[in-house]
Amino acid sequence: MLDIVIDRKTYPDRAGAPHLALAGLHLEAAPGEFVCVVGPSGCGKSTLLNVVGGLDRDVDGRVRLGGAPFADSTHDIGFMFQEPRLMPWLTVLDNVLLVTDASPAAQRRARDLLAAMGLADVLDAYPGRLSGGMQRRVALARAFVIEPKLLLMDEPFVSLDVPTANRLRAMLVEQWQRSGATVLFVTHDLREALALADRICFLSAAPGRVVLELPLTLARPRAPDDAAVQALHAELLARHPELLAGLTSEPHEPQDE
């Protein structure tokens, strides 16, 4: 059980004045649940993930996983960023092994995962040689190789073309179902959230807090362009127009550097 309570989270903006990013945010996730967090740009989605992942400790609030607050020694959180963030000087296999203890069991898991993602032929290649989609598959393998209890994903499939992104989403869902990890997936794309989530949490504009929770019962596998997803998307837009303003942008702005 993941339990997040953030009373206040501020960070200094460019001028140095404190900017209130999150306030009164409460979010829970059951073990093995796939939760998408959707909100407009700048509502503090990435900040939320950084707090949950322990990258940002300067916060009034608490994060508990399985009843206990995380310690620095917690090794069971996977994190996927907006960019693949692979070490360019490590091979594909070494990038995945980097986050493990490199035991024989970890080696086997890494190879199996990479093979399942169609990367068996490039184990010894350097990331600079790979396409953006392949780099993200490596990042996905890196996230799952530690057998995470919790997987944090910060718009991991932005700036990919549609078929590549769909393929990566299918891989994510397959690995997630196999692993039983709880997933917290941040996106500004409502269709993507509808295609992936068990439950969607909508954040307000900054300071962000959860303003609507939406359990989904659509059958899997689904894709953003399935008829059922499209229908639900249209229905939601009609029901909550003010809430979803700005969440329907179909083309992503490129954010990859």
Partner 1 sequence: MKAGVDDSAPWPQPAVPVRRAMKRNGPQGEGWLRAASLAAFLLLWQLAAWLFASQTLPTPATVFARIAAETASLALPTHLAITLARVVVAFGLAMALGAAIGIAMGRWRRLDALLDGWLVLGLNIPALVTIILCYVWFGLNDAAAIVAVALNKIPTVVVTVREGARAVDARLMQVAHAYRLPRLRTFARVYLPQLVPYLMAAARSGLSLIWKIVLVVELLGRSNGVGFQLNMFFQLFDITGILAYTLVFAAVVLVVEAAVLRPLERRLTRWRS
Among residues 184 and 244, whose Cβ is nearest to partner 1? 184
Q: Work out which of 5, 99, 205, 210 binds partner 1, going by CB under 8 A.
A: 99
- Per CB under 8 A, does 123 bind partner 1? no
Choices 13-21, 34-42, 87-95, 192-200; region in contact with partner 1 by CB under 8 A: 87-95
Choices 38-46, 76-84, 200-208, 212-220; region in contact with partner 1 by CB under 8 A: 76-84
- Per CB under 8 A, does 214 bind partner 1? no
- Give ∠ CA 20-11-25 in degrees, rounded to 5: 45
Residue 76: strand, helix, or coil: coil
247 CB-side CA count, 13 A: 30
- Per CB under 8 A, does 205 bind partner 1? no
User: What token pair was written down for 163?
Assistant: 């078929």
Q: Work out which of 16, 163, 215, 251 binds partner 1, going by CB under 8 A.
A: 163
Please provide the distance, in angstroms rounded to a whole number, between the alpha carbons at the two ends of the chain: 35
Q: Work out which of 5, 90, 218, 237 binds partner 1, going by CB under 8 A.
A: 90
Among residues 179 and 204, whose Cβ is nearest to partner 1? 179
d(CA 134, CA 251): 21
Q: Work out which of 37, 113, 140, 146 binds partner 1, going by CB under 8 A.
A: 146
The 10 Å CB-count burial string (b at 16+, else e) for 134-160 is bbbbbbbbbbbbbebbbbbbbbbbbeb
Among residues 96 and 247, whose Cβ is nearest to partner 1? 96
- Per CB under 8 A, does 65 bind partner 1? no
Rounded to the nearest angstrom, the gap between the alpha carbon of residue 81 and the centroid of all alpha carbons in its chain is: 7
d(CA 197, CA 34): 5
* Lookup result for tokens 């970890």: 106
User: What token pair was written down for 245?
Assistant: 């303003």
Site of interaction with partner 1 (CB under 8 A): 53-55, 72-75, 77-79, 81, 83-90, 98-99, 126-128, 130-135, 142, 146, 152, 160-161, 163-164, 166-167, 170-171, 174, 221, 223, 256-257
